[in-house]
Amino acid sequence: MEQRIKEILAEELSVDIEEIKLETSLKDDLNADSIDMMQVVDVLEQEFGVEVDTSELAKILTVADIVNYIGSHK
């Protein structure tokens, strides 16, 4: 799951997958803005069959946060 999330982030945010680590900040390191995050969330929801509550987005700051969120909502 972690690898697939990294692949999605790399593809959606046009960054090298090698730059993406668990501690990577979505905003500071990957320059993801709110529109980027909505696109990423849409793909993650389809890929993993989870629904991400938009009020939870403010709490998702790193790649690890995404992994933990999806893991706990699957």
b/e 5-43 (16+ beta carbons within 10 angstroms → b): bbebbbebbebeeeebeeebebeeebebeeebbeebbee
Q: Of the residues 16, 28, 29, 33, which is catalytic?
A: 33
Q: Say if CB 62 and CB 24 are below 8 A apart.
A: yes
Active-site residue, 28 included:
no
Catalytic residue numbers read: 33
